[in-house]
Amino acid sequence: MKKWLLTSVVLAAVLAVSACGNANSNNDPAASNATNTSNASNGANGSGASDATNASNNTNASNGSNANAPADESAATPSYFGDWTVKGVAGSTAVSTAPDDSMIGTKATYASDKAVFGKDEIQKPEYKEEDIAKGDFASEYRVQLKDLGIDADSVKAVTIGDGASPGSFFVVKDAQTLLVLWDGNFYELQKAA
């Protein structure tokens, strides 16, 4: 019942935010590639996003279709592409379920042609990247970056599709560590060697 209510609230917030963020008043052609989105599309975050936070956050889909991308594909490959394994729980939001210990050991793969987390697979995934300032992150997820082991002024968050399945929303802690948010818990993934 709680998940249904939470999903309904998040869906309503996403619809309201997406209706408000469709107008692009910036005439700068380079900036016109950015679209306003919300992390509220992640059904697991447990909190709605404020309009001010959403208006200040821009994302670019990094699905390889950017005409301005460098010719060297290796330079354009996101650091989160590769094979990963869940190693433990890094922290939880204020609104969360008990951590699911069965997630530890789960394998994940993020690539241009598919995103796999355990038994869940998304073909031809659309990755949406967003840099979130630490204050906005704390407001959105009710947890400080430092409590997740991140000592930075901002963090890159990635949503795949609608962010509603396990592993489809994560934070890039560093080149070797991702934090997947599910049911209010941040699961730490380590990159395979």
Residue 136 confidence (pLDDT)? 97
Give the predicted TM-score (pTM) of the model: 0.62
Share of the chain above pLDDT 70, in %: 61
Residue range 84-130, pLDDT digits in tens: 999 999 999 988 899 999 999 999 999 999 999 999 999 999 999 99
The full 3-state SS of the chain, as one line of letters, equals: CHHHHHHHHHHHHHHHHHHHCCCCCCCCCCHHHCEECCHHHCCCCCCCCCHHHHHHCEEEECCCCCCCCCCCHHHHCCCCCEEEEEEEEEEECCCCCCCCHHHCCCEEEECCCEEEECCEEEECCCEEEEEEEHHHHHHHHCCCHHHHCCCCCEEEEEEECCCCCCCCEEEEEECCEEEEEECCEEEEEEECC
Residue 7 confidence (pLDDT)? 53
Tell whether the model's pLDDT for residue 174 goes beyond 90. yes
Least confident of 9-23, 48-62, 71-85, 159-173: 48-62
Residue 158 confidence (pLDDT)? 97
Residue 91 confidence (pLDDT)? 93
In this prediction, residues 32-55 reach a mean pLDDT of 37
Residue range 5-36, pLDDT digits in tens: 445 544 444 444 444 444 333 333 333 333 33
